[in-house]
Amino acid sequence: MSEQDLGPSLLQAGTAERPGPLDGRDPTAQVLRRDRRRIRLLGGAILLLWLLGACGIVFVLYELSVYMPEYMAFSQEKAGTTSMERRQSITESYLAGFQIGFVVICCSAAVLALAALGTFLLVLDTRRATLRQINASLVLISERLERLQDLREQGRRGQATPRDSHANQWRET
């Protein structure tokens, strides 16, 4: 049997064996669906983590770009132009803002580290799911080849199906 004949023969044996889509009770189909669902969920969660971490850093950079020029202008102002209480209040509010910014940056770095770890786990999980899909396909091909071999053996014994006898007629001519 040549490779050109193998493909159509496998398809014929497969359609005779399983006419419909994968059955919901098939454990292999359930595992593959579970893998797809888990990968989608993990991918969405990781995307959310990446976006959350990036938004935290962008937020702090925005706040710095808005308030830093104002603070620099205030710090270079002459001492006698603003009262001491007002000066203390402004300094404390800017210091509190910088502390909040520092906390947001640290949290964003932690979220980005979690996103990086999640990306690594997603790659591993995707690899495992791909190997399971390949395994399932190989099992299906093996079953089809066994079915094809059974059909050929039946044809040799004289119990040929119409397709097998038709195929043998073409080879004899």
- Residue pLDDT, tens place only, 29-70: 888 889 999 999 999 999 999 999 999 999 999 888 887 777
In a domain, 19, yes or no: no
- Could you list the residue range(s) of the whole structural domain that residue 94 is in? 28-163
Our count of domains for the chain comes to 1
Is the pLDDT score of 4 beyond 60?
A: yes
In a domain, 59, yes or no: yes
Amino acid in position 13:
A
In a domain, 172, yes or no: no
In a domain, 170, yes or no: no
Written as six digits, the tokens of 106 are: 């640290």
Note the pTM of the prediction, 2 decimals: 0.62
Residue 116 CB-half CA count within 13 A: 8
pLDDT of residue 172: 46
Is the pLDDT score of 21 beyond 60?
A: no
In a domain, 12, yes or no: no
* 80 SS3 class: coil
In a domain, 95, yes or no: yes
In a domain, 18, yes or no: no
Interval 104-126: pLDDT, tens: 999 999 999 999 999 999 999 99
> Rounded to an integer, what distance in angstroms lies between the CA atom of residue 40 and that of residue 22?
21
Q: What Rg value do the Cα atoms of the chain yield, rounded?
A: 34
pLDDT of residue 122: 95
Residue listed under structure tokens 């999980």: 125
pLDDT of residue 79: 66
In a domain, 119, yes or no: yes
Q: Average pLDDT of the chain?
A: 80
Using an 8 Å Cβ cutoff, are 125 and 38 in contact? Answer: yes
* 158 SS3 class: coil
* Among the listed residues 71, 87, 91, the one whose alpha carbon sits nearest the alpha carbon of residue 79: 87
